[in-house]
Structure 1
């Protein structure tokens, strides 16, 4: 397991070095539209190339799933799940809330999660049954509930998921629960894990956006489920990650989105 962790961290660090330089000199005019609601930059593709190269160098037979291109070796029990830049829009705006997300699954169960936010200088790491850490210090979810709760939300690129997210936001605000959108699912998951916020809710979640962060929340004593309160896994279409204390309120809120 330590070899997997070292590989993921090195891949993230190599990518981060390149991305920081690009970020500091980025021109928004260079972005391209991947869909009507998603953008892509040359930085995404470069980051992906660096990460995949490092993984393949150490584990050439492993399968890789990445947001941009990925790999097709589906014979392996090991699956690396990558988002080379989670929060590309933030990146393009010189907003520091973006991260590199790398997870490893064995037989469809996440066993390693790394979320590296280079501008924030924060590295979140979790291994199955070994806890979650921020810059090598153990972290836990918050114990906050009630009116002091801070919820966040995100959504997939499909119009139906955007509508669900807006309905969720409206319901929570009308229930007097604060609700924000930070623009990076992996950072929001990491923030749940370290107790900065109480939840993140995502209709239409992609596995590459949330796989690493989901394990980080779980290992920090949080709860992660789909919208029907079933345990989240790689086949789930939606995700709720919370400190556990606010989970049922969110489940009740998303029932009729």
Structure 2
């Protein structure tokens, strides 16, 4: 089984499970931190995905949001977010997703984002473009900030939240709109498909963005940190995982207009 087929199988199986759980009462949850929650659905979807990865991709490392890092001796790394948008999910908001990516050392090779309730499957492979439900997608051609639809998200540290609020205040009046949708993976996929022009994320977690950054770049967009350097969360030499790396993803045409305010 190819990595692409394995990834699609994993997110589809987990998606079926999440659709079933979505109809149930998902309000029973635990706090992972002051601003992060986890439900039984997170754990259940992760179990499905990890079982498939460990069975069919035995030599790869695995980084998963709920279980952490399975650090095998390999240059290949799967990055898993079994339920991105847990808060949306638990209040029966259908805007949630599953994110699964495959990296070779520090380079994204495969990215899959699946929104189960919307039945939208976004797939990107390095050098092969990006698709939505099998149809090729591209970022928007909008080049003016005032005509752009922007989104934002943020990490769990208070400083990331404060920065996000400041960015919202600044860009809200300079664009068509700026909104937070509640699922970074979906918001990255929306940049890739041209529904929005940008997402800004102070302090993103690797599992939230690992798949989405490849979707954006393969659809013709651009991803960097807030200094303008390529977004990375794996150290090429040590293979250590970097947490809370700031991310700007855009259609490329408005990238500098936003970046100049972030530097």
**Structure 2 residue aligned with 1:104:** 102
**Structure 2 residue aligned with 1:175:** 174
**Structure 2 residue aligned with 1:224:** 223
User: Is the 1:172–1:253 Cα contact (8 Å) retained in structure 2?
Assistant: no
What are the Cα deviations for residues 151-210 of structure 1, in whole angstroms up to 9, with x where unaligned?
000000100100010011111124355211000000000000000000000000111000
User: Is the 1:224–1:239 Cα contact (8 Å) retained in structure 2?
Assistant: yes
Count of matched residue pairs? 253
TM normalised by structure 1 equals: 0.95
Partners of 2:261 and 2:42 in 1: CA distance: 34
**Structure 1 residue aligned with 2:125:** 127
Partners of 1:27 and 1:79 in 2: CA distance: 30
Worse-superposed segment, 128-137 or 11-20: 11-20
Structure 1 residue 17: deviation in Å? 1.1
Give the gaps of 5 or more residues in structure 2: 235-241
1:213–1:80 distance in 2 versus 1, CA, 3 Å: same
Structure 1 residue 21: deviation in Å? 0.6
Structure 1 residue 148: deviation in Å? 1.6
**Structure 1 residue aligned with 2:161:** 162
Partners of 2:70 and 2:81 in 1: CA distance: 16
* Cα root mean square deviation, aligned: 1.2
Partners of 1:155 and 1:71 in 2: CA distance: 22
User: Is the 2:129–2:219 Cα contact (8 Å) retained in structure 1?
Assistant: yes
User: Is the 1:61–1:73 Cα contact (8 Å) retained in structure 2?
Assistant: no
2:79 partner SS: strand
Asked whether 1:245 is paired with 2:239, we answer: no
Question: Residues 1-257 of structure 1: matches in 2 within 5 Å?
Answer: 3-28=2-27, 30-146=28-144, 147-235=146-234, 237-255=245-263
What are the Cα deviations for residues 61-101 of structure 1, in whole angstroms up to 9, with x where unaligned?
21000011044234111100000000000111111110000
TM normalised by structure 2 equals: 0.93
